[in-house]
Amino acid sequence: MITDFKGRTAVLTGAGSGFGLECARIGARLGMNLVLVDVQQDALDSAAAEAQVSGAAVLALKVDVSKAAEMEALGRAVQERFGAPHFVFNNAGVGAGGLIWENTTQDWEWVIGVNLMGVAHGIRVFTPMMLDAAAKDPSYQGHIVNTASMAGLLNAPNMGIYGASKHAVVSMSETLYQDLSLVTQQVGASVLCPFFVPTGITRSHRNRPAGMAAAKPTRSQLIGQAMGDKAVGSGKVTAAEVAQKVFDAISANQFYIYSHPKAIASVQTRMEDIMLARNPTDPFAHKPELGVALRQALRA
């Protein structure tokens, strides 16, 4: 929990677009020092320039969050420039869809590397720094927010590789919350579970490493891409609104952060499936025409 953001330091991965960029904008308005991290140099440069114009102290670094050594170097750079951060947003993420058996080894390595190991490295690098700062200063307040997804609480079809990574982030975040509560009251944790929000994640293949080049997309992957683009494009909740929810949650020490609270009904259905040992409920039960269309497209 952080009650006063002015003069505090935020480390934001995926800061060049989406939730990371919008959190940077809020942080700048609140007078925070900003450490902006992204793998896309032009987006990072643009975000840094905007933050500097607003008067924020900025450290902008191109980092591949899936790489342990790069994240460790980031930690050293943050410590040297600003000291221990107060808000760490492990937010960088990429998307991938298609029938789960059609994903290549490179698909798995890329998505798990960014979505899961990026969060793991952020936790591993910054939590000890924050705990050390808390031990030295009783007034220190820190908070870690990990970006998962509603796909981390549900099991949507045709996007299994993404869902697997985000389920892991939810689990890690819950454990982080519990582990922190064992050792301190000065550092908190939250998990962000957005639904369909326009952020640019459906175009994340633009930053796919050359060594993990994608194979020719399968029919299911093309269908998944089209459905994702349509769902995200029609989203009525903006990335800026979600970013504000992040800051509100930090101030309130709220763990679960939702962009679309009504979607929790589907999570309840899934939990009931588990508790009653019944087969998974049709995810399209509320909109059967979508399920019909997807099945017809995949079986064509």
CA–CA dist 217, 75 (Å, integer) = 37
CA–CA dist 11, 15 (Å, integer) = 9
Q: Is 162 a catalytic residue?
A: yes
Report residue 235: phi and psi, to 5°.
-60, 135
Half-sphere exposure of 245 (CA within 13 A, CB side): 20
Q: Pick the catalytic residue from 162, 177, 256, 258.
A: 162
CA–CA dist 162, 148 (Å, integer) = 10
Instruction: Give residue 246's Cα distance to chain centre.
Output: 11
CA–CA dist 152, 150 (Å, integer) = 5
**Residue 280: helix, strand or coil by DSSP?**
coil
Report residue 10: phi and psi, to 5°.
-115, 135
- Among 255, 153, 194, 229, which Cα is nearest to 20's? 194
Report residue 187: phi and psi, to 5°.
-125, 125
Are 158 and 294 spatial neighbours (Cβ–Cβ below 8 Å)? yes
- Among 82, 95, 80, which Cα is nearest to 11's? 82
Which tokens hold the place of 129?
């720094």
CA–CA dist 139, 112 (Å, integer) = 36
Amino acid at 262: K
Residue positions annotated with a catalytic role: 162
